Amino acid sequence: MKFLSISILLIVTSPTLILSQQPLPTLKKLLTNQEFEQYQKLSNYKNQINFFRKAFETRGHRLRIFVKRNKEKEINDVLYQLRFLPRHVEKESNNQIEQKNLRKKELKRLEISLRKLVNNIQDLKSLPNIKNRKQFDLTTQNLENLRKILLKQILGDFLGKQELNSPGPNLYPNFTYKVIQPVIKLNIQSRGREWVSDDRFTQAEYRGIQENQTLEKRVTIFLEIADSRLNEIQRRHLKIKWDKDHANYLELHTYRDMLHAYLSSLKSMMINIDEKAINKSASPDELWNSLKEINEKIEHFPSQLESIKKLAIELQDADLHKKITQAQETTTIVQKGAQYGLKLLEQ
């Protein structure tokens, strides 16, 4: 059985995108000497795509280290590389289109890697020690543009058959990828009496994700995380007293922390479904059960988010309002993706 992807794709009218109007630096300037020598030896397109994927992943890792150490020059250097490398990938992919030599499996792995990288860069940008947020935004924009190009190449004629009436994000569900290792590699750090991750998950939640490798169990955990954050925000907003027997493990989490965890849980759930896919490591039954659970449990999230948006207006908090809007958009994407996936599996 053939499946398509649960990925966000903003449709463009042309088959390629201009990622930047700035002059394109040479590949030699963007790579280390060792990397450039390695790339020059590659004649196979599959190996070239894998090379670029590793180059993006390496720079994503370096960026996290430099942000942690507050190395501003090094941060800017890595962002510069990440901002212009996508244009070289685009050029190479366009050459392969003319030669009808696209390698869709490798392109999909690159697309998934770019999606994770964009999420990581957005998380790093929100840290208080970041000074050059505009450079982070420009970098993620170029990486996202490359993702859209790759998705159009991967899905091919499928995109041409879709209705493009909606001005907002369009969803093209794809459910065929494999989790070889835990998708979420988290840096656990202390916060009060609880532990949270970069995704704002608690220690217990993170342990649950690590210990449960099956798609169905992970989807359940991610949905529980999302649900718990919306419930806690509403509890505080309505000033309802905590009356549970156990301690409130979200007591020290801010509204932003909880919306961040909400978004992380949905995005990680999408990545898990995608990665359970291309190598068919999840059975159609597992996919069906997981998508059905998403479709059923996510139904009440939009009304809760709309209520929380009113809270942001009351607080006159523009950043919180923006985060809620992002959560609403992501929720709609996941909801439509689950419904579309269930229809595909019924066929």
Q: Report how far residue 207's alpha carbon sits from residue 134's, in angstroms, rounded to the nearest whole number.
A: 35
Query: Is the predicted pLDDT of residue 310 greater than 60, yes or no?
Result: yes
Q: Domain ranges in the chain?
A: 7-172, 189-346
Q: What is the distance between the terminal CA atoms of the chain, rounded to a whole angstrom?
A: 10
β-pair partners for 194: 191
Q: Which of 142-156, 171-185, 202-216, 305-319 has the lowest mean pLDDT?
A: 171-185
Tokens coding 44:
């196979």
Q: What percent of the chain has pLDDT over 90?
A: 32
What is the pLDDT at residue 278?
60
Cβ–Cβ under 8 Å, residues 107 and 150: yes
Query: Is the predicted pLDDT of residue 229 greater than 90, yes or no?
Result: yes
pLDDT digits (tens, 9 = 90+) for 48-73: 999 999 999 999 999 999 998 999 99
Residue 46 pLDDT grade (very low, low, confident, very high; cuts 50, 70, 90): confident
110, 172, 173: which is closest to 143 by C-alpha?
110
User: Strand, helix or coil at 194?
Assistant: strand
What is the pLDDT at residue 112?
84
Alpha helices in 1-132 (DSSP H): 27-30, 33-40, 45-69, 72-98, 104-125
Question: Distance from CA of residue 85 to its chain's centroid?
Answer: 19
Cβ–Cβ under 8 Å, residues 290 and 214: no
Cβ–Cβ under 8 Å, residues 218 and 272: yes
Q: Report how far residue 284's alpha carbon sits from residue 8's, in angstroms, rounded to the nearest whole number.
A: 22
